């Protein structure tokens, strides 16, 4: 049965009204996906009557149950690029772009460096580094084979599969070669924290960092010291500045911090003392 586009959209918008602040836009995005049309086409053809595939209604049901749009569309934007994502990986957050920027800044003084990312997830950070630092050697480690599968799909998509060495393992895996820089956006949320319903669709392995939340960050600082790495840069929780700063100080290190666009403390970096 054919139905007018505007009627389909108004019904879908109504179903999404409590899930998102932009129900109409999301309904349109999902319809564009099913019809394989651009948003501008949809706007110009809202009186057209079209056959709507069942897939559209299932998309709306999923979104109405708070499943993130990115998982339904199997894609997410990060640093101006479109990455493949599904429920095996965390959805890229805009604030993580700042970590990539920080690494670009810190890597300026290094030539042919070996950069290791701990917990690469969908691969967004390592892939952006492979694209932006052509002379760097990059190793991306993750404990989840499922996440590595997604990261490889993305590396292939952006033509950097040969440039990144993907390793299945915990923290630094069994990397023997010298490491110049460690990067990580590890799980850093405290186990007891109750997350919003949308976050329950994301892998908890990628979110929860331990009783305090910063346990993995602290262990990464230990590894940075033990392996005599030159630079460390990590994303962290908005309330972890004091604890990270103290921990670094105990290890005779000085951590510097950056804020995200909301003005919250969001990450730190440590450089070897020269
Ligand atoms: N910033 C993410 C969030 O708040 C958490 C990411 C992480 O734990 N690394 O949902």
Give the pLDDT confidence of 66-81 residue by residue, as tens digits. 999 999 999 999 999 9
The CB of 96 under 6 Å from ligand 1? The reply is no
255's enclosing H/E stretch is strand 255-259
The 8 Å CB, 24+ separation contacts for 104-109 are 104/129, 104/132, 104/133, 106/181, 106/231, 106/233, 106/269, 106/271, 107/133, 107/136, 107/181, 107/231
What's the 53 CA to ligand 1 centre distance in angstroms? Answer: 35
The pLDDT confidence band at residue 271, using thresholds 50, 70 and 90, is: very high
| Probe residue for ligand 1, chosen from 91, 93, 264 as the CB with the greatest number of ligand atoms within 8 Å | 93
- Residue of minimum CA distance from atom 5 in ligand 1: 207
In sequence order, what are the residues at sequence separation of 6 or more whose Cβ sits closer than 8 angstroms to the Cβ of residue 75?
Answer: 82, 83, 84, 85
Q: Quick one: DSSP state of residue 193? A: P
In the chain, CATH 1.10.8 covers 2-65
Q: Which residues share a beta bridge with 257?
A: 268
- Residue of minimum CA distance from atom 7 in ligand 1: 187
Q: Which fold has domain 88-271?
A: Rossmann fold (3.40.50)
Alpha helices (H) in 139-236, listed in sequence order: 145-157, 215-226
The CB of 152 under 6 Å from ligand 1? The reply is no
Q: In this structure, is the dihedral angle defined by the CA atoms of residues 103, 106, 108 and 111, taken in order, positive or negative?
A: negative
In the chain, CATH 3.40.50.150 covers 88-271
The overall average pLDDT reported for the chain is: 96
State yes or no: pLDDT of 274 exceeds 80: no
Q: Which fold has domain 2-65?
A: Helicase, Ruva Protein; domain 3 (1.10.8)
Taken as a whole, the chain contains a residue count of 274
The CB of 188 under 6 Å from ligand 1? The reply is yes
State yes or no: pLDDT of 98 exceeds 80: yes
């Amino acid at each position: 049965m054919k139905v007018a586009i505007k009627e389909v959209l108004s019904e879908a918008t109504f179903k999404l009204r409590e899930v998102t602040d932009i129900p109409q836009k999301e309904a349109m995005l999902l319809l564009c996906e099913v019809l394989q049309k651009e948003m501008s086409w949809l706007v110009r053809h809202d009186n057209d009557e079209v056959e709507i595939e069942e897939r559209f209604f299932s998309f709306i049901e999923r979104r109405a149950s708070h499943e993130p749009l990115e998982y339904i569309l199997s894609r997410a934007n990060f640093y101006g690029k479109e990455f493949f994502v599904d429920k095996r990986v965390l959805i890229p957050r805009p604030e993580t772009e700042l970590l990539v920027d920080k690494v670009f800044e810190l890597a300026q003084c290094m030539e042919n460096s070996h950069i290791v990312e701990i917990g690469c997830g969908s691969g967004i950070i390592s892939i952006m580094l492979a694209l932006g630092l052509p002379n760097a050697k990059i190793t991306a480690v993750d404990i989840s084979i499922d996440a590595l599968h997604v990261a490889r799909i993305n590396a292939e998509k952006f033509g950097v599969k040969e440039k990144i060495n993907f390793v299945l393992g915990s923290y630094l895996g069994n990397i023997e070669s010298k490491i110049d820089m460690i990067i990580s956006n590890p799980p850093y949320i405290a186990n007891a924290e109750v997350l919003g319903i949308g976050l329950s669709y994301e892998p908890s392995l990628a979110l929860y960092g331990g009783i305090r939340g910063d346990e993995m960050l602290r262990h990464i600082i230990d590894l940075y010291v033990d392996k005599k790495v030159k630079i460390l840069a990590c994303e962290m929780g908005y309330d972890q500045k004091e604890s990270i700063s103290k921990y670094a100080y105990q290890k005779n290190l000085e951590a510097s911090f950056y804020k995200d666009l909301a003005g919250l403390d969001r990450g730190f970096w440590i450089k070897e003392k020269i």
